[in-house]
Amino acid sequence: MVQTADTAEIRRGLAGVVVDYTAISKVNPDTNSLLYRGYPVQELAARCSFEEVAHLLWHGELPLAEQLAAFERQERAVRALDPVVKRVVDELPTTSHPMDVCRTAASVLGARDPRARDPRAGDSSREANLAKAVDLFAAMPAVVAYDQRRRRGEDLVEPRADLGYSANFLWMTFGVEPAPEVIRAFEVSMILYAEHSFNASTFTARVVTSTLSDLHSAVTTAIGALKGPLHGGANEAVMETFEEIGIDPDESHEDAKARAKAWMDNALAQKKKVMGFGHRVYKHGDSRVPTMKAALDDLITYYRRPEILGLYDGLEQSMDEAKGIKPNLDYPTGPAYHLMGFDIPTFTPLFVASRIVGWTAHIMEQLENNSLIRPLSAYNGPDERHLD
């Protein structure tokens, strides 16, 4: 049937359109919980390591002890920054956004993957793609960490095989062994960001995969989608709001809260868009927020920074009173990353490092029952016409 502008039902942004099945994640409407393979993500964040959650998303089940040990050995063996990737990153200007660095690094890693040069069609079997997924999972922290360090004029820090994923990520970024409170808060953020069904970047990856392109190409395009401010970057914007209000480590909680509330009241009166609030999927508040907020509270206590909590509470209270809109995951994550010492432009690359797990899980799922994704459009241009 020919679709015309007069007869077609247009769903801009594919709003409300169900395009396929997935067994990877969903939001349970009865509990408002995000489920990874059936498990509420808040339970996973409380009881599991990020490595265990990655295994769950890729394989469908949490790992047995011997499976986890084998996965950890595999991941720790390929953490070092590829010297060719380092040279490419060094050639990129520090004026480029760190997301450009992530996108470029993913592409270079794909071009250098020996499986991409396999004459048997660049092996995209599940076994090969699992190996590629583990390699990207292990490699991206070195890219993100080194990029922040080079922008500060600091040298590369080599990975440590005696540390877990999260502790090693922090080690490579800051060159000091992190405190347990910091490791745990960072790990919680990685678990919460790892997967979220058919979001814009994941769907982008599935579209590319549906053409039978390779895993690295799909991840590279997903990073490009996440760079867009309507999808990624909200955690950066949250911290930029805090900085616009002004952060004074000597300020009390109540004083910071009053200033933040006044700022938000004024911003809303001017109809200014404030990032970190509301979500297209969650209608009753983002179920991931309480878990990340608890991790932020632990960091505020550890670093003795009550003014951060004051800013947080003031903005949240003002938005709730005026609009009834609740925070999303980016709202507590931004100040948490700030307290850990990450630069604001690094926040979305941290999202990349986590979401690689979800993207690659979806890439493999797409290939299991693939159909080329090719939607229709309704033409609304000129009628047929001819040259004189």
CATH number at residue 262: 1.10.230.10
Q: Rounded to whole angstroms, how far apart are CA atoms 355 and 333?
A: 15
Contact (Cβ atoms closer than 8 angstroms) between residue 140 and residue 85: no
Q: What is the CA radius of gyration of the chain?
A: 22
Q: Which residue has the tokens 């040069």?
A: 117
Catalytic residues: 231, 279, 330
Q: What pLDDT does residue 1 have?
A: 47
Regarding whether 185 and 283 lie in a shared domain, the answer is: no
Of the candidates 130, 135, 77, 127, the residue with the CA atom closest to the CA atom of residue 109: 135
- Predicted confidence at residue 122, as pLDDT, reads 56
Question: Which residues are CB-neighbours of 271 under 8 A, at least 6 positions away?
Answer: none
Same domain, 336 and 353: no
- Give the pLDDT score at 310: 98
Residue 11 located in a structural domain = no
7 falls within a domain: no
Give the separation between CA 131 and CA 110, rounded to whole angstroms.
Answer: 12
Asked whether 338 and 296 are in contact (CB, 8 A), the reply is no
Query: What's 222's domain CATH number?
Result: 1.10.580.10
Instruction: Provide the pLDDT for residue 281.
Output: 73
What is the total count of domains within the chain? 2
Residue 181 falls within a domain, yes or no? yes
Residues (pLDDT < 50) of the chain are: 1, 119-121
Q: What is d(CA 118, CA 344) in angstroms, rounded to the nearest whole number?
A: 39
Q: Which domain holds residue 270?
A: 234-340
User: pLDDT for 288-313, tens place per residue?
Assistant: 999 999 999 999 999 999 999 999 99
Q: Which amino acid is at 142?
A: A
What's the rounded Cα separation, in Å, for the pair 288 and 279?
11
pLDDT of residue 124: 80
**Alpha-carbon dihedral 214, 216, 219, 224, rounded to 10 degrees:** -110
**Has residue 8 been placed in a domain?**
no
260 assigned to some structural domain:
yes
Q: What pLDDT score was predicted for residue 3?
A: 57
Q: What pLDDT does residue 116 have? A: 67
User: What whole-number distance in Å separates Cα of residue 75 and Cα of residue 97?
Assistant: 27
